[in-house]
């Protein structure tokens, strides 16, 4: 029977009492209450002609949509199942019987600063955590991707690593940072350096929650082509080291991006091993590096050639 939102649905059933007599029981509840456990894959919403007959829930590829759905599952079922999976997958040991509070789009630094009467350090007022679980002795930060992988923005990966230290300093409790992405998403070197263990996957989480259709969609929307999508600083796309040397020879005005910057471990290993020739670097036009992870094309050339032109004998 179709029940519209707000209608009252009455179910009549019979139950045996301890004396053996059958008692008629009316189970009356609002249809909006019974819908709380519905798997919101979007199929129950009316589609729209301008979306080819689909609902927005069936069209969106935004990880925030999928994160809010996971948050609702954590609120409905409790965090124990999720934490047990995280412990096994990542290799950490978070207590399962503790009083954990899940949070979604947590603007942690700003809101804690206001709680403390706007005193003390304010690391990043607009920084939000996709998902977060709070407990008296630990904090678990979950950063998620759906359509993209984590290597599209080196600055963002660096900020994840900084969060672990900054949140720990502000709270004095153990802080863990884990990544969540499609099962098809490759694990990059940057992920291994930043997160506390292997990536969680949407597909694994879907299995934990009875094959949840929305979480399965989150796993399926990953697009490998989006690995080269420009970030806010990566306005010049990607170039290999060989292409960067050619650009330098032409006199192009570029900045080069690599996690940790010119003096970081990643670029140092590129230069030492010679892998810089085929390594793809983020680039941005101009002569002012947008963050510490960026450096001038001239400095790149000096680092990989020792200041000597490759055309020199």
**DSSP code, position 51:** G
Q: How far from chain centre, in Å, is Cα 248? A: 35
Strands 254-257 and 294-296: antiparallel
- Most confident range (mean pLDDT) of 69-78, 162-171, 259-268 is 69-78
**Rounded to whole angstroms, what are the CA distances from 58 to 51, 208, 220, 224?**
9, 21, 12, 20
Instruction: Report the percent of the chain where pLDDT is more than 90.
Output: 54
16 class by beta-carbon count within 10 Å (0-12 exposed, 13-18 middle, 19+ buried)? exposed
- The dihedrals phi and psi of 222, each to the nearest 5 degrees, come to -60, 135
Q: Range with the lowest mean pLDDT among 50-54, 58-62, 259-263, 282-286? A: 282-286
pLDDT tens across 189-234, in order? 668 788 999 999 999 999 999 999 999 999 999 988 765 444 445 5
- Tokens 């759905």 -> residue: 69
Radius of gyration of the chain measured on its C-alpha atoms = 25
Contact 68, 76 (CB under 8 A): no
Contact 105, 128 (CB under 8 A): yes
User: What pLDDT is attached to residue 9?
Assistant: 41
Summary mean pLDDT of the chain: 82
What gap in Å lies between CA 284 and CA 299, rounded to an integer?
14
What gap in Å lies between CA 39 and CA 154, rounded to an integer?
35
Contact 107, 126 (CB under 8 A): yes
pLDDT tens across 154-182, in order? 667 778 888 999 999 999 999 999 999 99
pLDDT tens across 280-312, in order? 888 888 888 877 888 999 999 999 988 544 433
User: What pLDDT is attached to residue 15?
Assistant: 43
pLDDT tens across 5-46, in order? 344 344 344 444 444 444 443 433 333 333 334 455 666 678
User: What pLDDT is attached to residue 292?
Assistant: 82
For the cut 60, the answer to whether the pLDDT of residue 73 exceeds it is yes
Q: What is the pLDDT confidence band of residue 1, given thresholds at 50, 70 and 90?
A: very low
Contact 154, 259 (CB under 8 A): yes
Q: What is the CATH number of domain 60-226?
A: 3.40.1350
For the cut 90, the answer to whether the pLDDT of residue 152 exceeds it is no
For the cut 90, the answer to whether the pLDDT of residue 134 exceeds it is yes
| Number of Cβ atoms within 10 Å of the Cβ of 141 | 23
Least Cα distance to 205 among 222, 185, 180 occurs for 180
**DSSP code, position 296:** E
Strands 101-106 and 129-135: antiparallel
List the domain boundaries for the chain: 60-226, 238-305
């Amino acid at each position: 029977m179709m029940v519209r939102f707000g209608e009252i649905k009455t179910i009549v059933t019979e139950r045996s009492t301890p004396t053996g007599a059958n008692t008629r029981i009316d189970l009356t509840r609002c249809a909006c209450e019974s819908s709380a456990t519905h798997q919101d894959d979007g199929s129950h919403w009316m589609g729209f002609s301008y979306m080819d007959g689909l609902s927005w829930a069936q069209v969106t590829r935004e990880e925030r949509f999928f994160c809010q759905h996971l948050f609702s599952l954590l609120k409905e079922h409790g965090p124990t199942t999720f934490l047990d999976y995280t412990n096994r997958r990542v290799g950490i040991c978070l207590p399962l019987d503790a009083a954990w509070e899940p949070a979604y789009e947590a603007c942690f630094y700003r809101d804690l600063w206001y709680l403390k009467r706007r005193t003390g350090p304010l690391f990043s007022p607009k920084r939000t955590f996709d998902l977060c679980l709070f407990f008296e002795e630990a904090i678990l930060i979950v950063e998620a991707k759906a359509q993209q992988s984590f290597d599209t923005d080196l600055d963002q990966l660096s900020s994840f690593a900084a969060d672990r230290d900054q949140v720990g300093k502000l709270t004095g409790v153990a802080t863990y940072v884990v990544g969540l992405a499609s099962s098809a998403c490759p694990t990059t070197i940057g992920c291994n350096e930043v997160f506390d263990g292997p990536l969680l996957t949407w597909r694994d989480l879907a299995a934990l929650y009875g094959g949840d259709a929305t979480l399965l969609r989150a796993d399926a929307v990953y697009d490998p082509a989006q690995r080269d999508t420009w970030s806010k600083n990566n306005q010049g796309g990607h170039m290999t080291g060989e292409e960067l040397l050619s650009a330098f020879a032409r006199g192009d005005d570029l900045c080069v991006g690599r996690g940790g910057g010119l003096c970081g471990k990643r670029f140092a290993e590129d230069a030492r091993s010679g892998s810089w020739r085929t390594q793809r670097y983020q680039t941005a036009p101009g002569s002012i590096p947008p963050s510490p992870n960026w450096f001038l094309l001239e400095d790149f050339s000096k680092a990989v050639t020792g200041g000597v032109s490759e055309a020199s004998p």
